[in-house]
């Protein structure tokens, strides 16, 4: 039987290297299955001229992995699509005062957009990446790889129960390693894409991946994991954005000290009555929950850290509190359509994608994440149209527009949307 061809995205890191090795050598394949014909692909992306770039070093590491595994190596130049769909998108969203997630867009438009399309056009049966996620299938003929098109009877009953009620063939499920799970960044995937995608390490913990890297004697076995947005490297996000967005000095206003009643007082003050305790370089450079990048000028020795709890884009005001969970009450003073701050029990989503092609049930409780690695919040979903939905929580939430809200039914990622 002719082997299936898999184009593996080799980033130069250990996760993608182990993925390629597992695919080639057949480790963790179901009984009777042989390895794939593997082609390593390094994806060249965009980097700004003013930043030092280590992309060539990463490409060299990817080449070393391909040589060690004795597999063909290609370089796909996807700089143009990356610049337009990821970098330009991120800059435009920040200019508008929203908080985008460039990793979601990279997966949607680059890795499982342009890369997948080009690989298939060149004869690949599948593409594979080193994501910590599981692609599960109801089709026994698609029993290809544990964690990637695994038959649902090899996973837990949670997934089986969900799948039995759906007409979809493919399901995106959490990695077995909760600390590394990346399904939050993959909510835009569709059935036709999942049919062609493999996640070879989704059923493994990071410690197991490291052990396999040593077992296969991979040249990147001891390499540290990369952090942050790929084209920024070690550069601070705000410093990057300041090359594209002009600084605009504004007030830092105390919404609540975290000790006193603040805005929750029965004598709720208006905006002009609140205490100005510092300044910032532009409200668009900040996101909710952060505690750096602005200056506090009125601070006592016993004060703790101040957290961003609100933004008024139109008036360029940043609201802070020593209570990072402080929620700005909804009243006329804060009712500003230009202020992308929600402290309600409900948030609205646009550009929704439901992986199984079925809407979530109105009466059923689900869980969701509004930030990567944040807690899972209990919620219910109302779908207004095919691309608009409302998420209803049991308690108020603080979330900025532009963020991804990702919905789960226990271990299965149903999809998600962008907070309006």
Dump pLDDT digits (tens) for 73-94.
Answer: 999 999 999 999 999 999 999 9
* Phi and psi angles of residue 169, each rounded to the nearest 5 degrees, phi first: -95, -25
Q: In CATH, what number does 346-419 get? A: 2.40.30.10
- Percent of the chain scored above 70 by pLDDT? 81
Predicted TM-score of the model (pTM): 0.88
Question: Which conformational region is residue 258 in: left (phi greater than 0), alpha (psi within -120 to 50 degrees), or beta?
Answer: left
Residue/partner pairs of 157-165 with CB below 8 Å, 24 or more apart: 158/409, 158/410, 158/411, 158/412, 159/410, 159/411, 159/412, 162/409, 162/410, 162/412, 163/136, 163/138, 163/412
pLDDT band (50, 70, 90) for residue 226: confident
Reported as a single tens digit per residue, the pLDDT across 161-196 is 555 567 788 999 999 999 999 999 999 999 999 999
Cα within 13 Å of Cα(31), Cβ side: 1
Report pLDDT for 373.
Answer: 93
Q: In the annotation, is 230 catalytic?
A: yes
Tokens 């997948």, residue located: 116
Query: Which residues in the chain are classed under CATH 3.40.50.620?
Result: 5-215
Closest alpha carbon to 145 in 23, 63, 264? 23
- Domain 5-215: give its CATH architecture: 3-Layer(aba) Sandwich (3.40)
331, with CB counted inside 10 A (0-12, 13-18, 19+), is exposed
Catalytic annotation, pick one of 106, 379, 383, 405:
106
- Which pair of structure tokens corresponds to residue 235? 């550069």
Catalytic annotation, pick one of 53, 230, 405, 413:
230
Report pLDDT for 381.
Answer: 97
Query: Which residues in the chain are classed under CATH 2.40.30.10?
Result: 346-419
Range with the lowest mean pLDDT among 27-41, 93-107, 245-259, 265-279? 265-279
What is the rounded average pLDDT of the residues 278-304? 93
Is the torsion defined by CA of 245, 249, 251, 252 positive or negative? positive
Residue 270 has pLDDT above 70, yes or no: no
């Amino acid at each position: 039987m002719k082997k299936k061809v898999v184009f593996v995205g080799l980033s130069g890191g250990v996760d993608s290297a182990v993925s390629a090795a597992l695919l080639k050598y057949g480790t963790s394949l179901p009984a009777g299955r042989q390895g794939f014909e593997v082609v390593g692909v390094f994806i060249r992306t965009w980097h700004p001229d003013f930043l030092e770039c280590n992309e060539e070093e990463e490409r060299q590491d990817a080449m070393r992995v391909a040589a060690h595994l004795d597999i063909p190596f290609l370089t796909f130049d996807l700089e143009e699509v990356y610049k337009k769909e990821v970098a330009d998108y991120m800059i435009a969203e920040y200019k508008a005062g929203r908080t985008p997630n460039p990793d979601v867009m990279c997966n949607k438009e680059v890795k499982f957009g342009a890369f997948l399309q080009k690989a298939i056009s060149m004869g690949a049966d599948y593409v594979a990446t080193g994501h910590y996620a599981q692609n599960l299938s109801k089709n026994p003929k698609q029993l290809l790889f544990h964690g990637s098109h695994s038959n649902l009877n090899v996973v837990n009953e949670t997934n089986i129960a969900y799948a039995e009620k759906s007409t979809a063939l493919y399901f995106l499920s959490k990695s077995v390693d909760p600390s590394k799970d990346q399904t939050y960044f993959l909510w835009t995937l569709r059935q036709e894409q999942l049919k062609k995608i493999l996640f070879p390490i989704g059923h493994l913990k990071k410690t197991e991946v490291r052990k396999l890297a040593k077992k296969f004697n991979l040249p990147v076995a001891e390499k540290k994991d990369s952090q942050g947005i790929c084209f920024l490297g070690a550069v601070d996000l705000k410093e990057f954005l300041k090359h594209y967005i002009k600084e605009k000095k504004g007030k830092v206003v105390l919404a609540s000290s975290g000790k006193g009643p603040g805005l929750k007082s029965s004598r709720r003050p208006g905006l002009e009555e609140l205490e100005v305790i510092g300044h910032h370089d532009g409200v668009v450079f900040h996101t909710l929950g952060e505690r750096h990048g602005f200056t506090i000028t009125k601070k006592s020795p016993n004060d703790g850290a101040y957290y961003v709890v609100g933004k008024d884009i139109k008036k360029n005001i940043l609201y802070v509190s020593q209570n990072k969970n402080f929620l700005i009450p909804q009243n006329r003073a804060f009712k500003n359509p230009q202020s992308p701050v929600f402290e309600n029990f409900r948030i609205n989503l646009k550009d929704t994608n439901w992986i199984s092609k079925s809407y979530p049930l109105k009466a059923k409780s689900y869980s969701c994440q509004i930030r990567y690695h944040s807690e899972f919040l209990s919620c219910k979903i109302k779908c207004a149209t095919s691309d608009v939905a409302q998420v209803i929580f049991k308690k108020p939430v603080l979330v900025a527009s532009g963020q991804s809200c990702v919905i789960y039914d226990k271990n299965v990622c149903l999809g998600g949307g962008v907070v309006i």
